[in-house]
Structure 1
Amino acid sequence: MLNSLKPWDKTLLFFNWVKTQNLIPMETIYYNVTMKSLRFGRQFELIEGLANEMVDNGIELDNITYSTIITCAKRCNLFGKAVEWFERMYKTGVMPDEVTYSAVLDVYAKIGKVEEVMSLYERGRASGWTPDHIAFSVLCKMFGEAGDYDGIRFVLQEMSSLGLQPNLIVYNTLLEATGRAGKPGLARSLFEEMVDSGVTPNEKTLTALVKVYGKARWSKDALELWERMRSSGWPMDFILYNTLLSMCADLGLEEEAERLFDDMKQSEHCRPDSFSYTAMLNIYGSGGKVDRAMELFEEMSDIGVELNVMGCTCLIQCLGKAKRIDELVRVFDVSIERGIKPDDRLCGCLLSVVSCNDIEDANKVLGCLERANPKLVSFISLMNEEGTGFETLKDSFKTVLTDAKVESRRPFCNCLIDICRKRNMQERAHELLYLGTTFGLYPGLHNKTTSEWSLNVRSLSVGAALTALEEWMTSLLNIVGREEALPEMFSAYTGAGTHKFSQGLANAFGSHIEKLAAPFRLSEDKVGCFVATRDDIVSWAQSKVQSPALTP
């Protein structure tokens, strides 16, 4: 009767009634059945209360009792309680079963106790426990999140030694793990092994593999997988399609994305959603296809697909680059009317557009930014005032940074420096670069060893990078003037974007080096790297003694 009653509260009510009537002596099995019912309802406190009652009344807690307590604690995310009861189980000499071992392995993994996981695994194996697919899935996930390639290989070897063929869940976990470990080759071989063994991939399998390929920039493999999926009739869902579209957006694969998008439109079950349209807006925006992006925007309105803040940001960025400011303002107004709440990324995008336009158009964009982030606009006004002192600027800038998310602070600073340079406020640009460096926004900007001094401007905008170059050259000029020791080599690194549409810094940086008549030249061995020798720097500095100012 206890086993047949549902839901859990009826089971508990009947169980308590039986106890009060003293009809039969209470045994372990009755508590176990009641606890299992309570576990379905995630009622850990009631289960723990019954367990303590068993202890007080001298009723034995067996393997099933402990397993039920531990698995319920795990389901309720009470990991500390799960560990506590597992340790009590061991102290009483009750041996865990497969379910308990797997549950506790998962608990230890979730709280990051890798050593305890391996210790428990080895202890269980020594006691004769044979791990199941669930246990191996837990190990795969743990090693994957840590990016531990050796750990993943260990799991594969253990399963092979036991003659245990991975099932769909284990394969999916392994594929996700190989992606985090950065091993696309292993992921591909695992997938082929999976198909050859007769295990049919599902949407989660294919999504995991596409993510691995996308992260490794294996676009050809990802698109070949898509064709194979279509021909084999493997299941596809929104997440899988959108993952493929996202990869195309990251790699600038416009034609391939259009094929995927059209395929979604013809699908009965996976019609494009907000994320699909956002990926396409990103692709067209990155490629400067303004008209196509606007067509998509109008199409979304016509068919009722909701525009999200990321899609709005992509579209505004595209319109800003094309200097179609009036349309930008209209898109922003429509987005606000539709309930879009501007985030830091959208504000950063508007700020970037301001930095690229003359006063009249910049003011239109500032009107949008005023509605999204009034404090940021107030700082720009303060920055533009000649009478603003450095300490006032510092305090106001600190407030702007405090209100922004950590990942948005450096882009904000970059754009503000760009605005200063656009408006010929060079001194203010140098002040902002100094404040950005002081507040830790540009770690790794300068690096010194005994043999080489370097400037790394990869994380800077063009304006900020040119400002950093000017600062560095002035510093080197002063060091040479003081006859301090110098290393043999100097380098300035702009990096080189791998995205099809990436413009990079190298061209602008190289042009500015020419304007400064600085002695750097492009490295033949390293892309996006400018180098100079100690003799080059000294000779240049000596020629600048009479005119040390470096700002063009």
Structure 2
Amino acid sequence: MECPLNGLSDLFDSCKFKLLEVDLVGILKALDVSGNWERALLLFEWVVRNTMIENEKVDKEAVQLMVRILGRESQHSIASKLFDAISIEEYSLDVRAYTSVLYESGLSPTLVTYNVMLDVYGKMGRSWHKILGLLDEMRSTGLEFDEFTCSTVISACGREGLLNEAKEFFDGLKLQGYVPGTVTYNSLLQVFGKAGIYSEALSILKEMEDNNCPPDSVTYNELVAAYVRAGFCEEGAALIDTIASKGVMPNAVTYTTVINAYGRAGRVNEALSLFDRMKESGCVPNVCTYNTVLGMLGKKSRLEEMVKILCEMKSSGCTPNRITWNTMLAMCGTKGMDKYVNLVFRNEELWF
């Protein structure tokens, strides 16, 4: 006997634990294909309610599928309520699913809506012309850009290597009276830093300081990365002292960036010296820092020092990951190092 629609919720509750573990997307698709979109909606609403109780998130693909189903069935008011219920912007919903409901239901996109769409387009790649279209649309509706808007657009340029476009967009913002904040400046600095154009990165930092926009740890980390990408390890290391003098404490990312640069240049002693300075300053190495040091020592066949670093990780409470163990075991595989294999495995067992 077919279960009535209004009795399905009780049925779902009776098998709650099994339902929360099944392939939700697969079930929703099956219900939709069989013409039971209303039952798909009821199941989806039940899952949303129960995941909220468990303080968890609904599967992103399931959200996108449900929005498309509702859009196709012209159930735009239901979709709009769905947006309110599950904070849809957290899901970076794909543009087709998002806009189909917004525009067909006659809703006016908000700044958050446009920011989400810009973020999606930026991550898709090769979407610069679409991003420009959205920006024109925002201007025509009178919406003012915020820091998220500006940093998202600039970051999109960086992903596609559009350095000139990023600079033109940034300069255009200032001509229109927009006052960039730290997040926007950091995005622009990252674009030029990743391209290895450290002179432009320095210029951006100077402009920040001239405009009384306070640099933060992200700012300096990007600048350090720009230096080392250009091959200036010493300048990157010197910047660490400058950062501290500005009242911003260098973090693990800052130190690891320079340590890695020294290692790639074969300057192991300088890298180890900086590693010691890092710990003396009170900055705690993370697993990436330790893996960088281990990899550098491994290339020089300095296995005894690698074992000491591994023991140091344990005493400091930093948990090794797969990269750590693979680095150690790869080193043990070299000629004459087989005596260390049992030691490494014994350490691994003690961790787990």
Cα pair 1:168 1:199 within 8 Å, conserved: no
Q: Distance in 1 between matches of 2:56 and 2:324?
A: 38
Structure 1 position 140, deviation (Å)? 0.7
2:224 to 225, 245, 249: 245
Q: Deviations over 1:494-528 (max 9, x none)?
A: xxxxxxxxxxxxxxxxxxxxxxxxxxxxxxxxxxx
Structure 1 position 93, deviation (Å)? 7.5
Structure 1 position 217, deviation (Å)? 4.0
Say whether 1:157 aligns with 2:136.
Answer: yes
- Specify every segment of 5 or more residues in structure 1 that has no aligned partner in the other structure, as ranges: 1-72, 375-552
Aligned to 1:328: 306
Aligned to 1:490: none
| Change in CA separation of 1:95 and 1:329 when aligned onto 2, cut-off 3 Å | closer
Cα pair 1:106 1:138 within 8 Å, conserved: no
1:110 to 81, 84, 91: 91
Aligned to 1:203: 182
The one-letter amino acid paired with 1:133 is L
Cα pair 1:342 1:372 within 8 Å, conserved: no
Say whether 1:257 aligns with 2:236.
Answer: yes
Cα pair 1:108 1:117 within 8 Å, conserved: no
| Change in CA separation of 1:283 and 1:92 when aligned onto 2, cut-off 3 Å | closer
TM alignment of 1:283-298, pairs within 5 A? 283-298=261-276
Say whether 1:174 aligns with 2:153.
Answer: yes
Say whether 1:340 aligns with 2:321.
Answer: no
Q: Distance in 1 between matches of 2:195 and 2:221?
A: 17
Q: Distance in 2 between matches of 1:101 and 1:339?
A: 43
| Change in CA separation of 1:261 and 1:347 when aligned onto 2, cut-off 3 Å | same
TM alignment of 1:73-152, pairs within 5 A? 77=57, 80=63, 107=88, 110=91, 112-123=93-104, 127=106, 130-147=108-125, 148-152=127-131
Structure 1 position 354, deviation (Å)? 4.0
The one-letter amino acid paired with 1:191 is F
Cα pair 1:332 1:368 within 8 Å, conserved: no
Q: Distance in 2 between matches of 1:368 and 1:223?
A: 47
State how many pairs are aligned.
292
Aligned to 1:308: 286
Aligned to 1:30: none
Q: With CA pairs under 8 Å and 6+ residues apart, which has the higher RCO, 1 or 2? A: 2
**If you compute each CA radius of gyration, which structure gives the higher value, 1 or 2?**
1
Structure 1 position 143, deviation (Å)? 0.9
Q: Distance in 1 between matches of 2:313 and 2:253?
A: 16
Q: Distance in 2 between matches of 1:303 and 1:332?
A: 21
Q: Deviations over 1:134-175 (max 9, x none)?
A: 232122112112222232121122124345442333212222
The one-letter amino acid paired with 1:172 is S
Cα pair 1:102 1:135 within 8 Å, conserved: no
The one-letter amino acid paired with 2:246 is S
TM alignment of 1:471-490, pairs within 5 A? none
| Change in CA separation of 1:195 and 1:371 when aligned onto 2, cut-off 3 Å | farther
2:203 to 187, 202, 224: 224
Q: Distance in 1 between matches of 2:77 and 2:186?
A: 44
State the percentage of identical aligned residues: 24
The one-letter amino acid paired with 2:287 is V
Say whether 1:319 aligns with 2:297.
Answer: yes
Q: Distance in 2 between matches of 1:343 and 1:352?
A: 14
Q: Deviations over 1:340-389 (max 9, x none)?
A: 3221212233344445x541xx2465455324557xxxxxxxxxxxxxxx
Q: Distance in 1 between matches of 2:113 and 2:250?
A: 37
The one-letter amino acid paired with 2:97 is E
Aligned to 1:282: 260
Cα pair 1:105 1:121 within 8 Å, conserved: no
Q: Distance in 1 between matches of 2:242 and 2:267?
A: 21
| Change in CA separation of 1:309 and 1:252 when aligned onto 2, cut-off 3 Å | farther
TM alignment of 1:487-506, pairs within 5 A? none
Q: Deviations over 1:209-249 (max 9, x none)?
A: 23333444444433332333334332222233223334545
Q: Deviations over 1:8-36 (max 9, x none)?
A: xxxxxxxxxxxxxxxxxxxxxxxxxxxxx
Aligned to 1:370: 345
Q: Distance in 2 between matches of 1:135 and 1:102?
A: 11
Cα pair 1:265 1:272 within 8 Å, conserved: yes
The one-letter amino acid paired with 1:239 is V
TM-score (normalizing by structure 1): 0.45
1:299 to 277, 282, 296: 277
Cα pair 1:350 1:365 within 8 Å, conserved: no
Q: Distance in 2 between matches of 1:299 and 1:321?
A: 22
TM alignment of 1:314-463, pairs within 5 A? 314-354=292-332, 358-359=335-336, 362-363=337-338, 366=341, 369-371=344-346, 373=348
Cα pair 2:198 2:223 within 8 Å, conserved: no
| Change in CA separation of 1:372 and 1:112 when aligned onto 2, cut-off 3 Å | farther
Structure 1 position 266, deviation (Å)? 0.9
Cα pair 2:287 2:319 within 8 Å, conserved: yes
Q: Distance in 1 between matches of 2:339 and 2:187?
A: 43
Aligned to 1:421: none
| Change in CA separation of 1:304 and 1:164 when aligned onto 2, cut-off 3 Å | closer
| Change in CA separation of 1:92 and 1:133 when aligned onto 2, cut-off 3 Å | closer
Q: Distance in 1 between matches of 2:212 and 2:323?
A: 39
Cα pair 1:249 1:282 within 8 Å, conserved: no
Cα pair 1:136 1:155 within 8 Å, conserved: yes
Q: Distance in 2 between matches of 1:358 and 1:243?
A: 40
The one-letter amino acid paired with 2:171 is E
Q: Distance in 2 between matches of 1:101 and 1:153?
A: 29
Structure 1 position 254, deviation (Å)? 0.9
